[in-house]
Amino acid sequence: MRCPLPVLRLARALREHPEAAEFDLVADDPAAARDIPAFADEQGIAAEETGLLTWRIRRVVPGQSVPTVRS
């Protein structure tokens, strides 16, 4: 997905699926390497980079720290 689509689609998925604990996200725009972790930090969710331009997005239980992993 081209920027800013990865962030916009992730935001929509989080809104539309509040019960889901995890999402996998794949992007094809190098800017996503900066945008996805920044969005995760702003939203209080964890974004673990699992490969080149791929992330596992996890909701965090209130009171827990947010373990955002960056390569």
The answer to whether residue 67 is domain-embedded is no
The answer to whether residue 65 is domain-embedded is no
C-alpha 68: how far from chain center: 9
The answer to whether residue 45 is domain-embedded is yes
Confidence of residue 20 (pLDDT cuts 50, 70, 90): confident
Task: Specify the pTM.
Answer: 0.77
The answer to whether residue 54 is domain-embedded is yes
Residue 49 reports pLDDT greater than 70: yes
Residue 14 reports pLDDT greater than 80: yes
Residue with the larger pLDDT of the pair 20 and 2: 20
The answer to whether residue 26 is domain-embedded is yes
Highest mean pLDDT, choosing among 2-6, 25-29, 64-68 = 25-29
Domain count of the fold of the chain: 1
What distance in Å separates the CA atoms of residue 39 and residue 7, rounded to the nearest whole number? 7
The whole domain housing 23 covers: 5-59
